[in-house]
A = this chain, B = another copy of it.
């Protein structure tokens, strides 16, 4: 069955897999000390224009969030995040498992605002009893957000500026970074992001890799003995080459960006197909995740023809569902979508 369930329904982009095959018999050191980790890091540093940035490869998104947040926070600190942020909702308490609180802020379409962050901080420090409360120690944003939306350059600058004023590192979860960067709605480049954030990651798992996220510390601020902290959290891969080779491939000949652009193009086409049938969108997403509202009976009918993801109940008779594109989405998949919709929404 044609599937739009997520952007991780297929294996690796063929160019990534090919490089794994080509390098398979080479022998090399483990734990990230292989030459491909080195070249991948260099290519990422070149790409973001920061020759001194520290780059570290981890396996998945929840792991990356937990490792980064728990090694950068002080003992008495927690992380500010949108109430809908991945760390707040969909990580089964992975941040709390490290002993730190997620301080949830209100959000709009998955986004925080500089004003609400400042407000929180002012209220916190204005409270005489604040030493009995978790100190805010970091701001976490996702880009694109969990709803596919994007902070504009002005919005991220404003957030970054509040963070600097209060000496809080700004951490950007880029699990789907490639789709944000290639969205026509984006006015942020990867270099902007590197400038504005203290740490961010370039998602591989959802953008063409079998697994892997590249964490970038932009301010000479990688926690000391980070490898040991990673090991301690069970997150250090013995065959680090698996991550190095994949990111080396993704950052060769702009593959990472080409994957992003392709998925966005497919998403644009998909939006037109939904619009043509008059199906309403829950949110105006400019990236590869599209959230549409289906009547429950039609949703059931559609689910017999196509795979997609239930997102949330809209009301008694309607449901929000997600359709995602990726490098593996084909034109024939879209034709199948069009045909199925025509039948269900004649």
A residues lining the B interface (CB < 8 Å): 2-3, 5-6, 8-12, 14, 17, 20-21, 23-31, 59-67, 70-71, 74-76, 78, 89-102, 104, 123, 126-129, 131-135, 205-206, 210-211, 223-225, 227-229, 231-239, 241-242, 307, 309-310, 312-313, 328
Give chain B residues whose Cβ lies under 8 Å from the Cβ of A12.
Answer: 24
Does the CB pair B10–A24 fall under 8 Å? yes
Compute how far the CA of A102 lies from the CA of B101 in the bound complex, rounded to whole angstroms: 9
Does the CB pair B76–A225 fall under 8 Å? yes
Give chain B residues whose Cβ lies under 8 Å from the Cβ of A25.
Answer: 10-11, 328
Copies per complex of this chain: 4
With contacts A14-B24, A241-B11 taken as known, whether A93 is within 8 angstroms of B97 at the C-beta atoms is no
Report the minimal beta-carbon distance from A8 to chain B, rounded to whole angstroms.
Answer: 5
Report the minimal beta-carbon distance from A301 to chain B, rounded to whole angstroms.
Answer: 18
Report the minimal beta-carbon distance from A215 to chain B, rounded to whole angstroms.
Answer: 13
Does the CB pair A231–B91 fall under 8 Å? yes
Report the minimal beta-carbon distance from A107 to chain B, rounded to whole angstroms.
Answer: 15
Nearest B residue to A1 via CB reads B27
Does the CB pair B232–A76 fall under 8 Å? yes
With contacts A8-B30, A66-B234, A313-B126 taken as known, whether A132 is within 8 angstroms of B92 at the C-beta atoms is yes
Give chain B residues whose Cβ lies under 8 Å from the Cβ of A2.
Answer: 27
Compute how far the CA of A223 lies from the CA of B98 in the bound complex, rounded to whole angstroms: 19
Compute how far the CA of A238 lies from the CA of B91 in the bound complex, rounded to whole angstroms: 12
